[in-house]
Structure 1
C-alpha cells in the first residue's frame, strides 16, 4: 500500500507537536490527516473519514481518534491547515543541502522499500529520532523514502481555542510509531509503503477526498 505526498513536522512553544500527512496519491484517494501530541503526552489523530481513521490508528498508536474534515491549502511556500479545532499556518524556506541531495534520488529508487532499508542507519545518524523503516505498535511494517525537504521558517495557530505559540523543535520526539520526524520543523516529500494487514488491500475511494474546493495541488 503506497502513499505519495508530504509530511510536515513542527513543534511549538506550547509544547504541542504536530505531524501533518498530506497525501496526493493513496489507496484511499487524496486525503490529509494530522497526528498531534500535547505537552502532557496525549496523542491524538485527526482524520477525515472513518476509513482513513481506522487505517492510520491500526498502523500507529493514539490515545484518542477524531473523525473530522482536514483541509489543507498550499499557496507557494505557505501552508494553511484546518482540522476540527486545529488551525495551523506555516511557511517554508529554501531547501538546504539535505533537500538538494534527497531531490537527486530517482523517484523509482526512493519508492523502493529496499532503498528505505539501506538508508535507515545513515538517517538515524544524520537526523536523530528519524527512521526510514520499522514496525508500528500493531506490528504493521512501513518504509519511508524521502525525496525532498524544506525547512519551516514560521508557524502559528491554535488548538481548541488556545494559541500554539511560536515554532520550536519537535522535542521530545513524537511517539506515534517507531520513529519521529526531524527535530527541526520541516516538510518532507515522501513515499510511504505500508505492508497490508492479512493481505488485505484497501480499495480506492473518492469519498475520502478532502482537498479544499478550488485549492491547487501542492507542487513544491
Structure 2
C-alpha cells in the first residue's frame, strides 16, 4: 500500500554574503503536528539539518541528504512582514516584501489543482524555467517521490543572520544552489506558501 505524507506551511530560502545558505520549513499542518526545521549549507558545502525532535529528524534525514543532523529547539515564524528564526546556532531576523509577479501568477491557479501531484509532475520543467534550480517533482531518498505545490511567493528584502553568535553577512542570492535533494529554492531569497507531498510506494 502506498504511503503518503502531506506537509502544509511555508518554506523560506536565505543566502548570505559569507556563503551560508538556509532553507527554513515552517509547517502548520503535518503528520508530526506543527513544527519548524532548518536545513543549512555552510560555505564549505557541509550540509546540516537542525530538527526539533528525533521523529522529525529521522523522516527528513531519510528524505534528503545531510552530512550532520542536530536536535535543537527550532522556533520559526512569519508575522506582519517579519520572518524570525531561532534554531540552535542559527538566528535570523528578516523582512519580507510584497508578493512577487510569480506569486501573483501562482495564486491564480486553483489551490486543489496547484497542489495535485499529477499537475506538479507535469509542470516541473516549467517551474525550473520560472525559478532556476526549483522543481515541483522529483525522486527523494528511501524510494520516495516528492511534490512541491507552491501557491504564493514573497521576496525577502533584508535579513540579519548569525551563526554560532557571529555575523554571517548580509542578505545575498542563494548561490551555489543548495544540494539537500533534487530541488533547490529560488536564487533570490524568498518565502513560499507550499504544500509538500511525499509518497513512498
Q: TM-score, normalised by structure 1?
A: 0.87
Aligned pair count reads 197
Matched residue of 1:173: which SS? coil
Q: Deviations over 1:75-101 (max 9, x none)?
A: 210011100111111111001211111
Give the structure 1 partner of residue 183 of structure 2: 179
Q: In 1, distance between residues paired with 2:69 and 2:16? A: 21
Q: Does 1:20 align with 2:24?
A: yes
Q: Which residue of 1 aligns with 2:171?
A: 167
Query: Is 2:23 the counterpart of 1:33?
Result: no
Partner of 1:88: 92
Q: Return the TM-score normalized by structure 2.
A: 0.95
Q: Does 1:148 align with 2:152?
A: yes
SS in structure 2 opposite 1:94?
strand
- For residue 52 of structure 2, what is the aligned residue in structure 1? 48
- 1:179, CA displacement in angstroms? 1.1
More displaced 10-residue stretch of structure 1: 167-176 or 67-76: 67-76
Q: Which residue in 1 is equivalent to 2:74?
A: 70
- Moved segments of 4+, more than 3 Å: none
Q: Name the structure with the higher strand share.
A: 2
Bigger mean CA deviation after superposition, 185-194 or 109-118: 109-118
Structure 1: unaligned runs, 5 residues or longer: 200-220
- Kept in 1, the 8 Å contact 2:26–2:77? The answer is no
Give per-residue Cα distances to partners, 1:132-164, cap 9 Å, x unaligned. 110124332100011000000001121112211
- Check whether the contact 1:157–1:163 (CA below 8 A) recurs between aligned residues: yes
